[in-house]
Amino acid sequence: MTRTTPIAAAASAIAAAAALPAAFMLAAASAAAAQTFALAAPIAEKPAFVTTVGQSADIEMVKVLLERAAVPHTANAQAKAADLAASGAKTLIVVLGGSTKGLGAAGISVDAELDRARALLAEAKRLKLTVIGVHVGGEARRGQLSDRFIQAAVPACQYVVAVAEGDKDGFISRLCGTAIPIDKVERTSRAVEPLKRAFR
């Protein structure tokens, strides 16, 4: 259990550190609450199909995000292209980031996982599904292994949501460029709102 709520915790932590007036901190908290989002209008239809690109355990967090965002979904970390059509989903959500442990547990090599991801993304394009990339693993889900998966998947996305810590170097933002809207949030739980807004 925790005593903190995100905005209040941020405000109190900053206030404690800098000994700033409480009124200033309330304004800071309000500003955090008034975050703007990259999408002007929803782009995705329900239901969604969730898979990983890199076999990370982060898929569990994304499932909770979608529950909170009231997006009905099915999830299969090792889904094949054929599973996509059979699911009846209108949106594909790819959980970005690699895990050596996850790949090992699934018995999948890096190259095989990249092949699976490419086939799945190609099938999503053929089915005219919206593809949303989600990166919630932060800095730990970056590095040589993860970046290969991120690089392979992001260009196929129509929208990306990322925890800011995972994009401190702008790697994901650069892959999105100007063509793919991206929303960055400070912590995983804050990804509910942009995901909710992405769906009609």
Partner 1 sequence: MPRPGACRRRPAIVSVPSAVAAALLLLLQARTPAQTPLNLYGRGASGANGVVAAAKPDASQAGIAILKMGGNAVDAAVATGFALGVLEPNASGIGGGGFMLIKLASMREAAVVDFRPTAPAAAAPDMFALDERGRPIGNASVEGGLASAVPGEVKGLLYALEHYGSGKLTRAQVIQPAVDWAERGIPVTANLAQIIKDNFAKLRKYEHGLAIYSVDGFPPEAGDTLVNTDLAATLRRIQAEGADAVYAGDIAARIVAEVRKRGGVLTLEDLATYQVKERKPVVGSYRGYTLIAAPPPSGGTHVLQLLNLAEQLGVAALPEQSAEAAHAWAEACKLVFADRTRYSADPDFVRVPVAGLVSKAYAKTLAALVRPDAVLPAPAPPGDPAKYESGSTTSYAVMDRDGNMVAVTKTINMFFGSGVVVPGTGIVMGDDMDDFEARPGSANSIQPGKRMLSSMSPTLVLDPQGRPFMALGSPGATRIIPTLAQVISNVVDRGMPIQAAINAPRLYQGRTGGVSIEGRYSINAYNGLVRLGHAVTVSPDYDPAYGGVHAVLLDREGKVLHGGADPRRDGQAAGY
Stretch binding partner 1 (CB under 8 A), from 18-26, 93-101, 118-126, 172-180: 93-101
Q: Does 33 bind partner 1 (CB under 8 A)?
A: no
Residue listed under structure tokens 């949501």: 161
DSSP state of 94: E
- The answer to whether residue 194 forms part of the interface with partner 1 (CB under 8 A) is no
Question: Is residue 169 a contact residue for partner 1 (CB under 8 A)?
Answer: no
Q: Does residue number 14 form part of the binding site for partner 1 (CB under 8 A)? A: no
CA distance 42 to 50: 18
Q: Is 188 in the site for partner 1 (CB under 8 A)?
A: yes
**What's the rounded Cα separation, in Å, for the pair 73 and 124?**
15
Taking the least distance from each CB to partner 1, the nearer of 79 and 129 is 79
Tokens for 148? 């290969």
138, 149, 153, 162: residue in contact with partner 1 (rule CB under 8 A)? 138
Number of residues that bind partner 1 (CB under 8 A): 32
Q: E strands, 80-197, where?
A: 91-96, 130-135, 159-163, 182-185
DSSP 68-79: HTT--EEE-TT-
Q: How far is CA 91 from the centre of its chain?
A: 14
Residues that bind partner 1 (CB under 8 A): 1-6, 9, 13, 57-58, 60-61, 64, 68, 99-101, 104-105, 137-145, 165, 187-189
